[in-house]
Amino acid sequence: MRIIGRFILIDVLIRLRYIKLSKERSFELKFNKYFATLFSKYKIMPIISSKGKNMPESPIRKLVPYAEAAKKEGKKIYQLNIGQPDIKSPQVALDAVKNNTIDVLAYSRSEGSEEYREKISNYYKKNRIPIEANEIIVTTGGSEALLFAMGTIADQGDEIIIPEPFYANYNGFATASGVNIVPVISKIEDNFALPPISEFEKLITSKTKAIIICNPGNPTGYLYSKEEIQKLASIVLKHDLFLISDEVYREFTYDGAEHYSILQEESLSENGIIIDSVSKRYSMCGARIGCLVSKNKQIISTALKFAQARLSPPTYAQIASEAALETPQSYFDEVIVEYKDRRDTLVSHLQKIPGVKVGVPKGAFYCIVELPISNSDVFAQWLLESFDLNGETIMVAPAAGFYSSKNVGLNQIRIAYVLKKEDLIKAVNILKIALEQYQD
Ligand SMILES: Cc1ncc(COP(=O)(O)O)c(C=O)c1O
């Protein structure tokens, strides 16, 4: 040990002398180089970025290792944690890929193929959203559209206000983009309705660039009304902000409620950006196709530069997504009936459990559930590691990761009702028994 210690000391002295003598480069550079050399010699890793360190784990996926271990033990797991629909993708979309005859799987245009964008424009017009093909950029999922949107409107240190709880990956996209999320709390007691506009107004600073909403909401299932969208329109116009609306669950609304898009509001033509995706609409999460939509030409031309840097969205998946637009209305009618039935079953069974509170979703296929426990992270892990009911357990998403405020949502979980009704009933029963046995 003493010999190694002496060697390191001599090594340091020689190198420091070298640093002092050399005038060609900055001290800092040599200092870094010295430590890089030293670290590689003693097998210490170079340092990763603070951005990387700050990147949050996905609350939806972080329990996967525990679930894998539980499965290896032979437990059956009802997966309520992830929004992967069990609904079949439209046959037209699958056939379009199977039957196509392309010989070269080439890049497409960066903004997406012309034919596909024309058809998306028709889809929007059918939904009373006046969008032209040149106001659409096809992306690799709604995820990339979110990244492009943040990159297009915000600089390092800029702020975006988001009602929370919100789709957990907004935290990750904001970190990757150097943007700070400023949360405004919506409450389970109000079913997660839009917080008063005065609450937004209090948070606006010179760094605020946008408000993001998710409509209908993941994880809340809340569907903003036309009046709420108009209130948001007035505040973004008053303060010169963008309004980004994540509308990937547009079709999933219940009880006859209609979705109202921000781009149905004419006043938002310069300020509005829609994030969209085929993932949930057509149960095509693996296609990885979405789009960014705006009537603001500068937004489109700037987002296009991000799109050019990554070359193009996937070609086969655009073929499938283009064909999916031919999906008959009957497909959606059946899917909506199915989800509504699941929602009703889930909510009514949850409401029977003592101490459980649930926000009733008006859209999408998620709900936030408040449990009589203190920490849902611990509880969710316990469900996988230490609990089963006749060899079965459930996997849920702890809700704290859907908030950016610290220590909020600790007693909440998010449930995705993407399982068949019978399985949902079994899953809620497992939750009930687990709560009875759990020692908080
Ligand atoms: C609200 C919301 N936005 C965006 C996405 C991203 O979707 P994708 O990248 O699969 O299109 C998801 C996925 O679950 C979501 O729930």
User: Where exactly are the structural domains of the chain?
Assistant: 2-47, 55-87+329-437, 91-324
Please tell me the distance between residue 334's alpha carbon and the centre of ligand 1 in angstroms: 22
Q: Which one, of 188, 208, 177, lies nearest residue 271 by Cα?
A: 208
Nearest CA to ligand 1 atom 4: 142
pLDDT of residue 359: 83
CA atoms in the 13 A half-sphere facing the CB of 109: 12
Q: Could you tell me if 221 and 359 are in contact, meaning their C-beta atoms sit under 8 angstroms apart? A: yes
Question: For residue 146, which atom of ligand 1 is closest to its CA?
Answer: 4
Helices (H), 312-375: 315-324, 329-351
pLDDT of residue 136: 98
pLDDT of residue 251: 95
Question: For residue 167, which atom of ligand 1 is closest to its CA?
Answer: 1
Q: Could you tell me if 58 and 168 are in contact, meaning their C-beta atoms sit under 8 angstroms apart? A: yes
Higher pLDDT, 83 or 367: 367
Could you tell me the pLDDT band of residue 36, with boundaries at 50, 70 and 90? Answer: low
Provide CATH code, domain 91-324: 3.40.640.10
**pLDDT averaged over every residue in the chain:** 92
CA–CA gap between residue 359 and residue 354 (Å, rounded): 15
Find residue 398's DSSP bridge partners: 413
How buried is 409 (Cβ within 10 angstroms: 0-12 exposed, 13-18 middle, 19+ buried)?
A: buried
pLDDT of residue 61: 78
Cβ–ligand 1 distance for 248 under 6 Å, the answer: yes
pLDDT of residue 86: 86
Find residue 136's DSSP bridge partners: 293
Which strand (E) or helix (H) includes residue 79? strand 76-79
Residue 408 scores a pLDDT above 60? yes
Could you tell me the pLDDT band of residue 84, with boundaries at 50, 70 and 90? Answer: confident
Q: Of all residues in the chain, what percent carry a pLDDT higher than 70?
A: 90
Lowest mean pLDDT, pick from 23-37, 99-113, 372-386, 391-405: 23-37
Please tell me the distance between residue 274's alpha carbon and the centre of ligand 1 in angstroms: 13
What are the CA-CA distances from residue 6 to residues 13, 37, 136, 252 (Å)? 11, 18, 65, 69
Could you tell me the pLDDT band of residue 44, with boundaries at 50, 70 and 90? Answer: low
pLDDT of residue 213: 98
Q: Of all residues in the chain, what percent carry a pLDDT higher than 90?
A: 85
Cβ–ligand 1 distance for 82 under 6 Å, the answer: no
Q: Which one, of 277, 279, 281, 225, lies nearest residue 251 by Cα?
A: 281
Over residues 286-312, the mean pLDDT reads 98
259-274 exposure pattern, b = at least 16 Cβ within 10 A, e = fewer = bbbbbbbeebeebbbb
CA-CA-CA-CA torsion for 254, 355, 368, 188, nearest 10 degrees? Answer: 80
Q: What is the pLDDT of residues 250-265, one digit of tens each?
A: 999 999 999 999 999 9
Residue 210 scores a pLDDT above 90? yes
Over residues 324-340, the mean pLDDT reads 94
Could you tell me the pLDDT band of residue 82, with boundaries at 50, 70 and 90? Answer: confident
- Say if 55-87+329-437 and 91-324 have the same CATH topology: no
User: Secondary structure of 81-104 in the HEC alphabet?
Assistant: CCCCCCCCCCHHHHHHHHCCCCCC
Could you tell me the pLDDT band of residue 45, with boundaries at 50, 70 and 90? Answer: confident
pLDDT of residue 378: 96
Q: Could you tell me if 219 and 167 are in contact, meaning their C-beta atoms sit under 8 angstroms apart? A: yes
Please tell me the distance between residue 372's alpha carbon and the centre of ligand 1 in angstroms: 29
pLDDT of residue 24: 47
Q: Which fold has domain 55-87+329-437?
A: Aspartate Aminotransferase, domain 1 (3.90.1150)
Q: Is 407 helix (H, G, I), strand (E, B) or coil?
A: coil
Long-range contacts from 352-360, C-beta under 8 angstroms, 24+ separation? 352/432, 353/428, 353/431, 353/432, 353/435, 355/435, 356/435, 357/188, 358/188, 359/188, 359/191, 359/192, 359/220, 359/221, 359/222, 360/191, 360/221
Among 162, 170, 280, the mutation site with the greatest number of ligand 1 atoms within 8 A of its Cβ is 280
pLDDT of residue 16: 54
Q: Which one, of 428, 278, 267, lies nearest residue 342 by Cα?
A: 428
Could you tell me the pLDDT band of residue 420, with boundaries at 50, 70 and 90? Answer: very high
CA–CA gap between residue 383 and residue 395 (Å, rounded): 7
Higher pLDDT, 37 or 296: 296
Please tell me the distance between residue 255's alpha carbon and the centre of ligand 1 in angstroms: 23
Please tell me the distance between residue 49's alpha carbon and the centre of ligand 1 in angstroms: 26
Please tell me the distance between residue 200's alpha carbon and the centre of ligand 1 in angstroms: 24
